[in-house]
A and B are shown apart, each in its own frame.
Chain A
Amino acid sequence: MSDLLIAGAHVLDPRAGLDAPHDVLVRGGEVAEVGAPGSLRAPDGAETVDGEGRHLLPAFVDPHVHLRVPGQEHKEDLASGTAAAAAGGYCAVIAMPNTEPPIDEASVLSSVREAARREGRVRVEFLAAITRGLAGRELTEMAELRGAGALGFTDDGMPVVSAGMLRRALQYQRLCGGVVALHEEDPTLSAGGAMHEGEVSALLGMAGIPAVSESTMIARDAALAAYEGARIHVQHLSAVESVQAVAAAKDAGVRITAEASPHHLLLTDEVLRAEELHTRFKMNPPLRAERDRQALIAALRDGTIDCVATDHAPHASHEKEVPFEEAPMGTTGLETAFAALHTELVEPGVLPLGLVVERMTAGAALFDLPTPRIAPGETACLVLVDLDAEWQAGEPGWESKAENSCFAGRTLRGRVLLTLAGGDIAFRRMEVAA
């Protein structure tokens, strides 16, 4: 556990009411004191980090990542995935169960949780599958999986196509608890599609994934959740119609929350025209139109969207070096999320920094994890960033095993210098003076 004085950084934690330069002393892995700049001294043997001109934030929590363990370690593993998380300023991530085999049995969950404790640089928690093999036909042993530590359930990557099946899961939630997180997609509308259905898909002759394939399922599942009094979370919202469906459900009192990813907040299908169909822009749900992007930003601002989730989805280079329609879906996101949102939304004045920090940490509470706070007595989950530092995404390399970042090559402003996760230093950029 670290002893550390971070001196004179601008401390910003909306929940703690902090937005000014402070000294922050970490002792034994806990925030020991928050004091006026220059007021605190490092105890003997403790390191002092110069925070002058830098920002200290509560570390981020990502409720939606793919760490590919077990079974697809050629794409990512627990060490590389959590190194990417730490480098992006995250202190905790929630991994999805669409692995090989899927995390649909307590024995698989227990072994991967154990491995994550050993190998992870940051806290890793898991959602278990709703249905066996993510096949949508039989419920997993949800109660046993909860007992083995699943925070909740999802078939992410696949929708729960059958309303009847999902209803059973929502009923069973009354017994076992745990949020049911939903990848919303009606395959009868989306089948064969490789990108957003719209002008760009028409120009490219590519089969499209219409926005209504997502929004109609959200409306259906919100109705089921209302009927069963269940708690659901909608993953990776991408379209204006989906925002409207979530807003309507919230207005009606449904226990529903939602997340959005940096790539849907910052990019549109126009990049496919400009970037000649590069497969790092292929993800599910797809990058949509500008009106969708604007609706997501507005929803993040007004709270219709509760949190940011990266949907970090690493793939090996050879898997992505194929024609667009053949390529697997997904972009990495952990190492670029904060910098990309800061560059594209905070700097131009679209969203305040405090709100972005709040939404990048809000995923914790949705899944019953502790929310990182900068306050005495709290476990040190902190990230020190230099908001003025400019860097090229992907240079000189990634912590992740994968290179399929939709932001690769972009000039971003805002760089993570130091991440403390669970009281320990999880990441430190070389330049930070010891």
Chain B
Amino acid sequence: MRHLLSIDDLERADIERILDRAASFAEVSGREIKKVPALRGRTVVNLFYEASTRTSSSFELAAKRLSADVVNVKSAGSSVDKGESLKDTVQTLSAYDPAAIVIRSPHVGAAELVARWTTASVVNAGDGKHEHPTQALLDVYTLRERLGSLDGREIWIVGDVLHSRVARSNVLAFRRMGASVTVCGPPTLIPRGIEALGCDVAYTLDRLAEADVVYALRMQRERMNEAFVPSLREYAAIYQIDRARLRPEQVLMHPGPVNRGVELAADVIDSPQATITAQVEAGVVVRMAVLYELLAGGRAPDAAAALPEPEPAEAAA
């Protein structure tokens, strides 16, 4: 595998291989020294055109735990803000000969484009409202840890599906792992034609009890200004996941950051049913596994980790 651009490019076996490796990295994360030398001497560029805390920090940490050199380029203060085109920026960064470019962009297909312009492996860290494949992988990882398997499970994704790249990637990933998926939200926030992803559509939570897993999406406040819903109050009244609506055996997920009191009630956020913190933890090991898959995947993991490390040039000088 050369790039990770879309969940659609992954077979179930690919997902399982990546997540199994993530599990082995999780074991390393439990040690005092959390680093492995797998990507020593290689460079990972994180190119972020959108504000992001979780995704950018976990990619950075993942690359560092694999001993890669990391360059973070963010929209603020870079040539990106000076009107340089994406193509020119990518070509400039490619001059550093990075092994991987991790890209987050507000534009659909941006990762695809970057892959056309560079010889580095490209990881899509979110392209517009299209996909966020590493989020989907870490969510599947979290659910595997919690439920063992997704086969035959019923998963509801609730909220602003229209503006959610997480929803799109997760429908694909959950289905590929054997679950069936229902997306639920106000009709104004369910894209026309979404059934083509292979999911069902619901406009109320009436049948939420059928779900084994409830995945709530972030409800962004700016959607109010665009008149997608009349008020957050009405949204919360109809779609908020709270103690009354959530059965005790259901797993509750959320990609973060949570709007407390909007999509989730406080009483469920901190409940043991919620996997929100586990998802964040999974983010690092899953992204390690993704970088490993793309940059060192040709070699057996243990052999690679055990390779003797060449002396760094600067140490010899």
* Pair count A-B, CB < 8 A: 68
> What bracket does the count of chain A residues touching chain B fall in?
20 to 34
**Cβ-based interface call for B272 (8 A):** no
Selected from B85, B87, B108, the residue in CB contact (under 8 A) with A204 is: B108
**Cβ-based interface call for B129 (8 A):** yes
Nearest A residue (CB) for B164: A205
Selected from A194, A202, A210, the residue in CB contact (under 8 A) with B197 is: A202
Known: A202-B196, A205-B128, A206-B130. A324 touches B191 (CB 8 A): no
The answer to whether B131 touches A197 (Cβ under 8 A) is no
The answer to whether A323 touches B197 (Cβ under 8 A) is no
Contact string, A191-204, partner B, CB cutoff 8 A, digits 1/0? 00010011111111
What's the minimum C-beta distance from A375 to chain B, rounded to whole angstroms? 51
Q: Report the separation of the CA atoms of residues A326 and B110 in the bound assembly, to the nearest whole angstrom.
A: 10
Q: Report the separation of the CA atoms of residues A206 and B113 in the bound assembly, to the nearest whole angstrom.
A: 16
Q: Report the separation of the CA atoms of residues A109 and B233 in the bound assembly, to the nearest whole angstrom.
A: 56
Nearest B residue (CB) for A325: B107
What's the minimum C-beta distance from A407 to chain B, rounded to whole angstroms? 20
Known: A204-B130, A205-B128. A323 touches B192 (CB 8 A): no
**Cβ-based interface call for B109 (8 A):** yes
The answer to whether B112 touches A202 (Cβ under 8 A) is no
The answer to whether B197 touches A203 (Cβ under 8 A) is yes
Q: Which of B87, B128, B129, B131 has the most CB of A within 10 A?
A: B128
Nearest B residue (CB) for A276: B112
Q: Report the separation of the CA atoms of residues A48 and B90 in the bound assembly, to the nearest whole angstrom.
A: 56
Selected from B87, B109, B112, B130, the residue in CB contact (under 8 A) with A321 is: B87
Residues from chain A with Cβ under 8 Å of B191 in the complex: 201-202, 205, 208
**Cβ-based interface call for A277 (8 A):** yes
Residues from chain B with Cβ under 8 Å of A200 in the complex: 193, 196
What's the minimum C-beta distance from A414 to chain B, rounded to whole angstroms? 31
**Cβ-based interface call for A118 (8 A):** no
Q: Report the separation of the CA atoms of residues A206 and B131 in the bound assembly, to the nearest whole angstrom.
A: 11
Contact string, B111-142, partner A, CB cutoff 8 A, digits 1/0? 01100000000000000111100000000000
Known: A204-B130, A205-B165, A206-B130. A323 touches B193 (CB 8 A): no
Known: A318-B85, A321-B85. A205 touches B108 (CB 8 A): yes
**Cβ-based interface call for B170 (8 A):** no
The answer to whether A277 touches B128 (Cβ under 8 A) is no
Residues on B facing A (Cβ under 8 Å)? 85-87, 105, 107-110, 112-113, 128-131, 164-165, 168, 191-194, 196-197
Not counting A277-B112, A325-B108, a sample of 18 additional A-B residue pairs whose C-beta atoms are within 8 angstroms of each other reads A194-B108, A197-B193, A199-B193, A200-B193, A203-B193, A203-B196, A204-B130, A205-B191, A206-B108, A208-B191, A210-B192, A276-B112, A318-B85, A321-B85, A323-B108, A323-B110, A323-B113, A324-B109
Nearest first, the 10 closest Cβ-Cβ pairs linking A and B are A323-B107, A205-B129, A202-B193, A199-B193, A199-B196, A277-B109, A205-B130, A202-B191, A202-B194, A323-B110
Please, could you name 28 A-B residue pairs with CB atoms under 8 Å apart, sorted by A?
A194-B108, A197-B193, A198-B193, A200-B196, A201-B191, A202-B193, A203-B168, A203-B196, A203-B197, A205-B108, A205-B130, A205-B168, A205-B191, A206-B130, A207-B129, A210-B192, A276-B112, A277-B108, A318-B85, A321-B85, A323-B107, A323-B108, A323-B113, A323-B128, A324-B107, A325-B107, A325-B128, A326-B107
